[in-house]
Amino acid sequence: MYALSSQDEGFSLEETSARAIADVYLDRSDDIIVNRPESTVKGENISSKGSEFAKKLTNVGNNLAVEYKGKLFRNSEHAYQTWKSGEFDEVAYNSTDTWKPRGSKPTNKQTSYQTMVEILTAKL
């Protein structure tokens, strides 16, 4: 799990997200995270129209199951909608809407970014 730190100060949300994903993606063997020099880390526009790697990271429109906090979700959007409030939202979890599950709890703006980072990291 990537935790925001003082080293992230001065970086945009996109740069911090890319750093978090790159730090974990570079080496997951034996749960040892290996950091490469920043000059070798290439940025990625994460969108459904990006590279194959980017498409796998998009939330909506993929069927890459993700396990998060002990539960299996059909994709990362399903996980995010269930946990965006900071609490488990059973309505969102049980939603049959495959594009964007509808929940009953509002987004917690103080924790939702870190929640998404954790979910994307779990997807890797």
pTM of the predicted structure, to 2 decimals: 0.56
How far is residue 26's CA from residue 108's CA, in Å, rounded to a whole number? 30
For residues 119 and 75, the answer to whether their CB atoms sit within 8 Å is no
Residue 60 has pLDDT above 70, yes or no: no
Q: Which whole-number Å values give the CA distances from 20 to 28, 29, 89, 102, 113, in the listed order?
A: 13, 16, 26, 28, 12
pLDDT in tens, 64-77: 889 999 999 988 88
Distances (CA, A) of 44 to 1, 47, 54, 56, 98: 20, 9, 7, 12, 26
**Model pLDDT for residues 37-58, shown as the tens digit of each residue:** 566 667 766 666 677 777 666 6
